[in-house]
Structure 1
Amino acid sequence: MYLVLLAWGYVVVMMAIAEALSPQGTVLGAFFTLLLYGVGPMALAVYLMGTPLRRKARRRQEAATAPGSDAPDGRTEPPAVAQEPRISPVREEP
């Protein structure tokens, strides 16, 4: 991931230098080239590629702060099981 970002950064810096040194180019154009071709897309790529790591860290932190429980909702007792009404299999005469 970092190698791709480094290579893209190099390409964008070279584009910005070419823009600034070109007879028809300007320093303002080089700045916007650097900003719109470099910083914006690289920030978006880093954010999207880092999503799984942030999710793991958040789950790890939530598990560490749960009060002594391995349950995902933080409860320590098991959930209640619904009781079925007791019906006798044979009808009894009064």
Structure 2
Amino acid sequence: MYLVVIAWMYVAVMMAVAEATHPGGTLLGAVITFVLYGVGPVALLVYLMGRPARRAARARREAAASGAPDGGGKAPADAVAPVRKEP
């Protein structure tokens, strides 16, 4: 995913440079081009693609806070074994 982000930011920078150096272009146009074609879409992409990782981290935090089993399917064992009366 980061390769796509780096490549797209390179393309956005080149578009902004072309806008700034064009005889009819302006520096303001270059900044707007970079923000609207580069920073905005990349920020949205990173946010959406990072959603599964954030969800998994939240689930791990909640499981650790609640003391739930670690997914082994068994209830946690008691620290002290039960004592039985002799007949």
TM-score range, shorter chain: 0.7 to 0.9
The aligned runs of 1:1-94 (5 Å cut-off) are 1-66=1-66, 68-70=67-69
Gaps of 5+ in 1: 71-75, 77-94
TM-score (norm 2): 0.77
Rg (Cα) greater in structure = 1
- Report how far residue 15 of structure 1 moved: 0.2
User: Which has the bigger relative contact order, CA under 8 A and spacing at least 6?
Assistant: 2
Using the aligned pairs only, state the percent identity: 64
TM-score (norm 1): 0.72
| Larger helix share, 1 or 2 | 2
How far apart in 2 are the matches of 1:3 and 1:45? 12
Count the aligned residue pairs: 71
Gaps of 5+ in 2: 70-74, 76-87
Q: Which runs of 4+ in 1 moved over 2 A?
A: none
Q: CA RMSD in A?
A: 1.6
